[in-house]
Amino acid sequence: SQQGEEDPQALSIQEGENATMNCSYKTSINNLQWYRQNSGRGLVHLILIRSNEREKHSGRLRVTLDTSKKSSSLLITASRAADTASYFCATLEVDRGSTLGRLYFGRGTQLTVWP
């Protein structure tokens, strides 16, 4: 099965700094999604980037996708203490000749933002 791998596993920064997380994957994808998980809660969708897109923005979030390197990055600008959470990338694998797809998650990056 394909699974994205986030890097680093843990990231600790001060409020106001930028946080960058990376995700690498193994095979061709239809899209890549980033999710956030606060401690003890379910995941919340942040942003989706399709395989034919290179960059996408949403508020303080910027996602890039490099399909030649099979990697993506999530940048959170001007981070806040409330951004403290785990961040996961998820890659959509679509069966050839099928309309069925499976979403595979990485192990996540734990981001801690200190006030």
| The residue to which tokens 């993506």 are assigned | 72
Find the shortest distance in angstroms from Cβ 89 to another protein.
Answer: 10
105 binds another protein (CB under 8 A): yes
111 binds another protein (CB under 8 A): no
Q: How many residues bind another protein (CB under 8 A)?
A: 27
Strand extents, DSSP E, the chain: 5-7, 10-14, 19-24, 31-37, 43-50, 55-58, 61-66, 71-76, 85-94, 101-105, 109-114
104 binds another protein (CB under 8 A): yes
Cα–Cα dist 19/74, whole Å: 8
| The residue to which tokens 């990338």 are assigned | 89
3 binds another protein (CB under 8 A): yes
Scan residues 43-72 and list those touching another protein (CB under 8 A).
Answer: 43-45, 48
**Binding-site member from 27, 42, 52, 115 for another protein (CB under 8 A):** 42
Find the shortest distance in angstroms from Cβ 7 to another protein.
Answer: 13
**Binding-site member from 41, 54, 57, 80 for another protein (CB under 8 A):** 41
Contact call for residues 85 and 114 (beta carbons, < 8 A): no
30 binds another protein (CB under 8 A): yes
| The residue to which tokens 């933002």 are assigned | 113
